[in-house]
Homo-oligomer: A and B are copies of this chain.
C-alpha cells in the first residue's frame, strides 16, 4: 500500500500524486479530485519516514524535560505544544527524570530521528551534549535557563530576581532566621534562587542567618524529609521562615511540618517557587514566586520555529535570550505571625 497503488488507481504517475499533496497548485482540478478519490478509497496515508528521508527535513520536534511529574514542566510543555500544533509540528516529550544518562539517551534518539528541532530543559550546562545536534544543524532552544545567547536561543525567567523576591518577602515579614531548601546545586535554577535569597540577606545587613538545606532532587519526598531535619532542630536555632527551591519541595515541606507538629505559618513561614496550580490548593495556601509557565513554553517554541524556518529559507538567524520576570504571590503560608492577634 504505497503511493504507487494510488497512482495506478488514479491513472497518473507517482509524481502527480506527490504534487497533489505538496504542490496542489500545479495539478489541474480534475486530476486532483481523481487522485484524492483514489487516496480516500485505498485509505492511503503517506509514510512519514520515506518522506523525511527524501526531503531531509522533519516536522517533528523533540522536547526534553527534567521531570514530567512536575506540573511546572507540563505547563511549559502545553504552552509549547499549543503553538507547535498550530504550526503543524508534532511534539515528542521525553522525560530525563533528572538523570544525565537518560538525558543523553533522549538527545541521541532525537538526533537519530533527525527531528526538526529540540526544546531542551537541561539539568546542567554541559554544552557538549548538544554537539551532535549542532553538527547536524538541528536547532535547539534552551528552556528554563537563560544562556549566553551565543550558540542557542534560550527562554527562561530571572531566577536570581525570583530568589531575591522570595528572600525580601520573608525579611519584610520580620524573619531573621531563614532557610533555603533545595538541590542538587548542579541545577542552575537551584543555584540562582539560592543566590537570590543570599543577596537579599546580605543587603539586609547584620543579624540575619540563612541555613541551606540541600536535597538530592526537587520532589515532594525531598521536601518531606527535609522538613523532618528542620523540625528536629532546637526551637532557638530553627529557622522561622523557609524558601523552597520549587513548589514540589514546598508542598513536601508543608506535609512534613504538619506531621512534625509545626504550624505553618505560625511556627514556620514557607514560600515556594513556580506557583503551580496546586500551590493555591495546598494544606495552607502556599506563597510562591510565579513564573509565566505557558508563556515560557510558547516563546521557546516560537523561537525554535523561527530558527527552523530561517534555516530552511537560508535567511540569517540571530540567537535570542528571552528572560521573563517572576512575580511574588503572597498567600497564607507567609502571612505575618502576629496578624491573628492584631
A contacts, CB < 8 Å to B: 43, 45-50, 52-53, 58, 60, 68-69, 71, 74-75, 77-78, 81, 85, 90-95, 97, 102, 105-106, 108-109, 111-114, 132, 135-136, 220, 251-252, 254-255, 277-278, 280-285
Q: Determine the chain B residues whose CB is within 8 A of the CB of A68 once the complex forms.
A: 74, 77-78
Contacts A45-B111, A220-B281 known; 19 new A-B pairs at CB < 8 A: A45-B112, A45-B132, A47-B112, A48-B109, A49-B49, A49-B52, A53-B53, A68-B77, A69-B75, A69-B78, A69-B277, A71-B71, A81-B95, A85-B102, A91-B94, A251-B278, A252-B281, A255-B281, A281-B282
Q: In whole angstroms, how far apart are the Cα atoms of A45 and B133 in the complex?
A: 10
A-B CB contact pairs (8 Å), 22 listed: A43-B132, A45-B108, A46-B112, A48-B113, A49-B49, A49-B53, A49-B113, A49-B114, A50-B53, A68-B74, A78-B95, A78-B97, A81-B95, A90-B106, A251-B278, A251-B281, A278-B278, A278-B281, A281-B282, A282-B282, A283-B284, A283-B285
Complex: how many Å from CA A251 to CA B279?
11
B283 to A281, Cβ gap below 8 A?
yes
State in angstroms the CA–CA spacing of A81 and B52 once bound together: 26
Q: Which of A77, A93, A97, A109 has the most CB of B within 10 A?
A: A93
Task: List B contacts of A95 (CB < 8 A).
Answer: 77-78, 81
B-side contacts of A284, CB under 8 Å: 283
Count copies of this chain in the complex: 2
- Closest chain B CB from A20 CB (angstroms): 16
Instruction: Please name all residues of chain B whose beta carbon is closer than 8 Å to the beta carbon of A50 when the two chains form the complex.
Output: 49, 53
Shortest Cβ gap from A276 to chain B (Å): 9
Q: With a CB–CB cut-off of 8 A, which chain B residues contact A285? A: 283
Q: Identify A281's interface contact among B45, B52, B109, B254, CB under 8 A.
A: B254
Closest to A73 in B: B74
- Knowing A90-B109, A282-B281, A282-B283 are in contact, say whether A69-B71 is a contact too (CB < 8 A): yes
Which residues on B sit within 8 Å (CB–CB) of A92?
90, 92-93
Q: How far is the CB of A136 from chain B (nearest CB, A)?
A: 8
